[in-house]
Amino acid sequence: MNEKRSALVFGATGLVGRYLVEELIDNQEYSLIKVFGRGEYQAKNEKIEYHRIDFDQPGSWSGRVTGDDLFVCLGTTIRKAGSVAMMERIDRDYPASIARIGAENGIRRVAVVSSMGANPASKNYYLRIKGQMEERIMAAGIAKKVIVRPSMLMGDRVEFRFSEWLAKGVMTVINPLLAGSARKYRGIHGRTVARAMIGLLKFPSDQVVFQSDRLLDEGR
């Protein structure tokens, strides 16, 4: 019988994170799901162990970042963050810090949500932040790394974002037209991304970065 695994999830209330927790609950390979967050969280399953933390005080919670598979789904918007500096902290600094702590605590597998077009040299601040985050994840010291770059995320968020709602409507119409090399631009459901993250961590390959079209295949 295979030994049960433990998962650690940061960003469990976001679009991908919520679906990820649901998939981990249904996955028989995992017996424990450690969820880390800064606010209230309703643990809906006995597998879940919730840790309420202050991301800016890692010394108070770093010792609890132990287990097998680390999943980081942190992300925000400039409107919600309030400033580029705060967005940098949430989208770049927190994931890098979490991965570094995980490496120090012996975690050997990490999967992180980034973005299509992420590039540390990009003139677009969002894509630049994501690219810088990827660089820091790569340097954190965890052996197996999976960085997923989804396109427009589909699915239900807790909060309503009008511009995203509008874009999703457009993507629903044009998705069938995006084929071949353009397939990676198709909108992708958050659950598909979550399934792909879990599956790709087990994939025996040195490949690190996975584009959205690969996620569509892996997350079916």
Q: What is the pLDDT along the chain (220 residues), one digit of tens a residue?
A: 467 899 999 999 999 999 999 999 999 999 999 999 999 998 889 999 999 999 999 999 999 999 999 999 999 989 899 999 999 999 999 999 999 999 999 999 999 999 999 999 999 999 999 999 999 999 999 999 999 999 989 876 555 454 554 445 555 655 555 556 656 567 899 999 999 999 999 988 889 999 999 999 998 8
DSSP 8-state assignment for residue 3: P
Query: Do the beta carbons of residue 84 and residue 127 sit within 8 Å?
Result: no
CATH number for region 5-159+188-218:
3.40.50.720
Whole-structure pTM value: 0.89
Q: Which is nearest to 144 in space by CA: 188, 206, 99, 216? A: 206
Query: Do the beta carbons of residue 212 and residue 188 sit within 8 Å?
Result: yes
Using only C-alpha atoms, what is the Rg of the chain?
17
Query: Do the beta carbons of residue 78 and residue 91 sit within 8 Å?
Result: no
Query: Do the beta carbons of residue 186 and residue 150 sit within 8 Å?
Result: no
- Residue 184: the pLDDT is 59
Query: Do the beta carbons of residue 43 and residue 50 sit within 8 Å?
Result: yes
- Residue 21: the pLDDT is 98
Separation of alpha carbons 118 and 125, rounded Å: 10
- Residue 29: the pLDDT is 97
